[in-house]
Amino acid sequence: MTATNQPRVLILKTGTTYPEIRAQFGDFDDWFVRGLSDQLDLTVVDVTRQPPPGQPQDWDGIVITGSPAMVSDRPEWSETTAAWTRQAVDAHVPVLGVCYGHQLLAHALGGKVGFHPDGRDTGTKQVTLLETAQSDPLFKHLPAQFPAQLTHKQSVLELPPGAVLLANSSFEPHQAFRVGGNAWGVQFHPEFTDQIMRAYLEVQTPDLNKEGLDATRLLAEVTPAPAASRVLTRFSELVTDRFASA
């Protein structure tokens, strides 16, 4: 791999968004590119089309995106990515898994992933940090409670052995966790803007109404979530600091 004077971060793209949202806002990887530091050397690989490149330790950080796929279906590309992610954690490479990536990280390390017993969670919701987050490198600078954008049907039902639970919400007991010192999963979407969240709810409205959810109310309750977005800023800083001290 070509040497660079910037930290090399690999974005593992695990799917694509709705066509109408992609046309207006770009795709999953674009949102992470915008949210992460421009001081990082970013590479995007669509793991639904090709396996993760090289060895995990070739990279200074790894981000795993959301996906319309379901971890519990265990498609071949997802299982390949899970095994590679497990190697990354073992090699102490900083990893951030978001939504599907959060669930895939848990699955890769021995946790249980499946459909949430209460159905879909979507919209702007309050995330509450636990006491464990007060000393966590990624979360310790965030407020004790903050709004975040969410949209998912599956959840981490059981954390991996040894995982530290960092955050929850009224609907979701496992909003964030850490394994070891360098791997984090977050169920919420730090890469979503409020405009993207509204676009999701507009696309989902027919299904939400069928499921007994109030799409109009959910749309009205969407707010910006700057504290949640700081997860990407802080992950960038952690990767950069680690790179500088290597």
Active site residues: 99, 189, 191
Smallest CA-to-CA distance from 195 within 142, 126, 147, 149 is with 149
Amino acid at 10: L
Q: What does the alpha-carbon distance between residue 25 and residue 199 come to, in Å, rounded to a whole number?
A: 9
Q: Is the separation of the CB atoms in 77 and 27 below 8 Å? A: no
User: Which residues, listed in sequence order, are joined to residue 179 by a DSSP beta bridge?
Assistant: 183
Alpha-helical regions (H) of 94-225: 100-108, 194-210, 215-220
Contacts of 65 by beta carbon, 8 Å cutoff, 6+ apart? 11, 12, 13, 14, 15, 28, 29, 32, 98, 99, 100, 101, 191
Mutual orientation of helices 76-90 and 100-108 as an angle, nearest 10°? 70
Distances (CA, A) of 88 to 9, 100, 162, 179, 183: 12, 17, 16, 12, 9
Amino acid at 149: Q
Contacts of 90 by beta carbon, 8 Å cutoff, 6+ apart? none
